[in-house]
Structures are given as C-alpha cells and as structure tokens.
Amino acid sequence: MYAEDEVSDRMFMDRAFRMAGLGHALRTVANGQEAKDYLAGIGAYGDRSEHPMPAVVLLDLKMPLVNGFELLEWMRGHPELTSLPVVIFTSSPLSEDKARAKKLGANDYIEKPSAVGKFGDVVKRLKEKWRV
C-alpha cells in the first residue's frame, strides 16, 4: 500500500509498479486517514478480498488529516500491525525526520527521487529488500 497525498507521485509509483510487472500489487490511498481505514478494514475498505492487507506500507510523512508520523505511531500501537513493514517514502532529507521515523518503528527510509524515471529504482529496492 502506498499512502501519498500527491496525485502525481501516486501516478509515478503506479507506473513504476506496472513497468516492473507488479501493477496488481499496488494499492494507493490519498491521505493518512484513508490509510488507517484501509489497515483497519473499515468503511470503504471493509472487504478484504477487494482490499487485502498489504505486505508492506510505503508511507509519505507530509499528508493531510493524519500525517505519516501519526499513522506510523498508530500502526505500532496495534498488535496486529506491529510486524507489518513500513517504508517511509518522503522528500524530507532531514536527519530529525529519519531519527523520529526510526524511533516510531519504521523499517526503512527512502527519499523521493528528483527524477520521475527513478521511481523504478525505488520499486526495484522494494522488490529486493521487502519482496513486494
């Protein structure tokens, strides 16, 4: 699952997943509240056959309603989600953001590439490290 409020970034990631032959594997949500609902399997995401539990969560930090840090903290407070790998995928290069994400239980931290074509490299890394 990819939680990201920027439409263009969701499109770039979707394209990179499709080009890697993984188009069926990516589910996207537009903000942190939608991500919570998806992970909890409530509301529009109540049907697990249509909205399966993800193998890994790709998480932006700067999102409306519930930001990435808040979502990560919420996830780590729920026993059924503590082992779910979370990869922070953000434009923030700040060391304090990296440290906070690690403290809250993020498994990895990837800075968004400046070139659209590099999203494929991110998918490759996800495939190799997290078996997406």
Confidence of residue 4 (pLDDT cuts 50, 70, 90): very high
Question: How many Å apart are CA 74 and CA 92, to the nearest integer?
Answer: 21
Write the DSSP string, 30-44.
Answer: SSHHHHHHHHHT-GG
Q: Is the pLDDT of residue 35 over 80?
A: yes
pLDDT in tens, 62-112: 999 999 999 999 999 999 999 999 999 999 999 999 999 999 999 999 999
For 23, the domain range is 2-130
Return the number of other C-beta atoms located less than 10 Å from residue 32's C-beta: 25
Confidence of residue 115 (pLDDT cuts 50, 70, 90): confident
Spatial contact of 101 and 88, defined as CB atoms under 8 Å apart: yes
Helix (H) or strand (E) holding 29: strand 28-29
This prediction has a pTM of 0.93
Return the number of other C-beta atoms located less than 10 Å from residue 74's C-beta: 17
Into how many domains does the chain fold?
1
Q: Indicate which CATH number applies to the domain containing 77.
A: 3.40.50.2300
Question: How many Å apart are CA 111 and CA 23, to the nearest integer?
Answer: 22
Q: Percent of the chain, pLDDT > 70?
A: 100
Q: Which two tokens stand for residue 8?
A: 């263009």
Helix (H) or strand (E) holding 125: helix 119-130
